[in-house]
Chain A
Amino acid sequence: MAFLELDGVSKSFTVNGKTKPVLREINLSIEQGEFVAIVGFSGSGKTTLMSLMAGLILPDEGEVRLHGERVTGPSPNRGIVFQNYSLLPWLTVFENVKLAVDQVCRGWTTERKRERVLEYLKMVNLSPAAQKRPAQLSGGMRQRVSVARTLAMDPEVLLLDEPLGALDALTRATLQDEIERIWERDRKTCVLITNDLDEALLLADRIIPMTAGPGATLGPSFAVDAERPRDRRAIAKGAEFKHLRRELTEWLLTVARQQPTLPVSAPSSPQHPVVSGAAT
């Protein structure tokens, strides 16, 4: 039995009386301790998929199961890092993390809770900013707070919903390294949603491309067997990575051609996944 399972999951939304299928027939099983990346076009329903796994929304058909039990709502054991950080702006960095610690570590002494908050802030290199408010932080720092808050809940599954999507390339690279380092520490089951193929290649054990919406579904798995920690240069130049990247890109573009709603004439348009250095 897989650790986290999606079994025939479909979801549609009704807007102005019109029902629009977003996801159909999603089947996915993730083993404990596995790092899975899901890549796909913008607007293909990746965030919907993430919300389903988090339990923030429930599927129309099929079910999501965590170690065999059906997911019926959100819970701290499926910690989600939101794309837009979702920090509470009236609380300091410390208080934002403490909100999660207070909720998960009931019955602990104040001192022990404080130590836990500080421990996680240290893990994301934010100790000096503990008393600042989110508005005083850069985007990268805000996302670190969000990561610390989620990790402090000690979730069984870590759901990363395009966590670095809004950051500049250099900050992205730094945070990717940090996510890698933190993940190596206790190898939690992790699902990363991204539109950056290189990010997926750097972090994931397995990459699953998603077809374009509406009615998106998952494609075949592409295993990434390379040793960790992976070298950024090897990802840019290494033959194995080049091959994987080409295959993934081919797959995504083929799927996109079959979808008449998507512009496929310009493969480098921002609608498409980032395929820097890909030999298409």
Chain B
Amino acid sequence: MKIKATILNGLQLAGLGAFDPVVRLLSGENPSAQLPKIGQFILMPIGGFALFLAVWTIAASSIQTRYGSIPNPKAVWVAGSQLLAAHQKTTADRQQFYVDRDKQAKEYVEKAATLRTAAADPKNAALKDRLDEAAVKNDGLAASTMKRKYAGSPSYLDQIRTSLLTVFTGFVLASAIAIPVGILCGLSPVFMACVNPFIQIFKPVSPLAWLPIVMIVVGALYTTDPSEAWFEKSFISSAITVALCSLWPTLTNTALGVASIDKDYINVARVLQLSPSSRVFKIILPASLPLMFTGLRISLGVGWMVLIAAEMLAQNPGLGKFVWDMFQNGSSETLAQIMVAVFTIGGIGFLLDRIMIVCQRMVSFDSAVSA
């Protein structure tokens, strides 16, 4: 009984309330109460999806494009499997490349060591200079070999990973700016009045407008040698663009949360004579967390949408670039692969949103969370 309650609570928390009746049915609760719910919340969505696939299949065969007919669901499935297979091949290739590289570098190092031993031998005194020279040359070869990086194109899963990393970086950057500024806005009407014009003007700006500026500025400021840089320029440009476009919902929601804090809580703080800092950290922040998380959730959603556009233009090796490359390639598989990307983008967006809902439910003290 206790396990059941835990599972039901977990499902509720994760926003998977649709599976609630299944658990209840399996645990032996009255089927006549649970079956209609299963029908409504599980069978109906499955039915809807099946209908969608059917319409898609029929429509696909009747539309001809310059790349052939629109791929049907099966073709997309095949394209997805091919991308996975290609990923496995790329991974194997890459591993082999690095094994070979390390092996070769090791050979150079060993050769250098042999040459040095020979040079140290008094018998070879006449050849000492030439031997030393050769040893140094081999050292150099070893070092340059170790610097070599796998040059093959990244696989589909690598691109997903880059995209996730980019959106996460942008999101963290956006939150780091938006939360403190939002708190200040909520606390001080004067500050809010100063900042509000910027918020209102920059909020509706498309990522496509930001990107060129960001790329130019990043290009001017980020001058580290590419072989030593931790991040690629395109990665930084995309992440900053994501941050610029996604910080607004967090900012405005945090400001609203702080400004609309229940007056009673403030009265409690006043009677207790809390210091300004404990007032912020003990009363104002916890009280505005639910709205702040609403903002963070919207921000992450916006960030993920913006990211694809930013990657397309910045040529950051992620999903956006994948879609663009496929479009440029123009092979018979183009459309199917782009559709795989569409489903991937949708699926990941959905997952990110779910994760944020769980976080939001965990921090909110009132049970009123919109789904």
Residues of A within 8 A of B (CB): 54, 56, 73-76, 78-80, 82, 84, 86, 88-91, 99-100, 103-104, 133, 135, 153
Contacts and interface: CB of A to CB of B under 8 A. Distances in A.
Given A86-B265, A99-B282, A54 B271 contact: yes
Given A88-B283, A135-B365, A80 B265 contact: no
A69 to B, nearest CB: 16
Interface string B304-328: 0000000000000000000000000
Given A88-B286, A89-B365, A90-B289, A56 B270 contact: yes
Contacts, number: 51
B273 A82 contact: no
A82 B286 contact: no
Nearest to B285: A90
Given A89-B365, A133-B365, A135-B365, A56 B286 contact: no
Given A88-B265, A88-B283, A90-B289, A75 B271 contact: yes
A75 B270 CA distance: 7
Contacts of A100: 272
Given A86-B264, A88-B265, A88-B283, A135 B366 contact: yes
Nearest to A85: B264
B365 A80 contact: no
Given A90-B286, A90-B365, 20 more contacts: A56-B267, A74-B270, A74-B273, A76-B273, A78-B271, A86-B267, A86-B268, A88-B268, A88-B286, A89-B365, A90-B287, A90-B289, A99-B268, A99-B282, A103-B273, A103-B274, A104-B272, A133-B365, A135-B365, A135-B367
B283 A153 contact: no
A46 B143 CA distance: 84
Contacts of B274: 103
Contacts of A88: 265, 268, 283, 286-287
Q: Say which size band chain B's interface belongs to.
A: 10 to 19
A99 B272 contact: yes
A166 to B, nearest CB: 13
A131 to B, nearest CB: 15
Interface of B: 264-265, 267-268, 270-274, 282-283, 286-287, 289, 365-367
Q: Which of B273, B286, B367 has the most CB of A within 10 A?
A: B273
Contacts of A90: 286-287, 289, 365
Nearest to A159: B271
Q: Which of A76, A80, A100, A103 has the most CB of B within 10 A?
A: A103
19 contacts: A56-B271, A74-B271, A74-B273, A78-B271, A79-B271, A80-B271, A82-B267, A84-B264, A86-B268, A88-B268, A90-B286, A90-B289, A99-B272, A100-B272, A103-B273, A103-B274, A104-B272, A135-B367, A153-B271
A181 B283 CA distance: 32
Q: Which of B272, B282, B283, B366 has the most CB of A within 10 A?
A: B272
A75 B269 CA distance: 10
B271 A76 contact: yes
Contacts of A80: 271
Contacts of A153: 271-272
Contacts of B267: 56, 74, 82, 86
A99 B265 CA distance: 12
A84 B272 CA distance: 17
Contacts of B271: 54, 56, 74-76, 78-80, 153
B270 A89 contact: no
Nearest to B272: A103
A88 B286 CA distance: 9
Contacts of B287: 88, 90
A80 B271 CA distance: 8
A84 B273 CA distance: 20
A86 B265 CA distance: 6
A91 B287 CA distance: 10
Contacts of A75: 271, 273
Contacts of B365: 89-90, 133, 135
Contacts of A56: 267, 270-271
A1 B116 CA distance: 102
Contacts of B366: 89, 135
A73 B267 CA distance: 11
B153 to A, nearest CB: 49
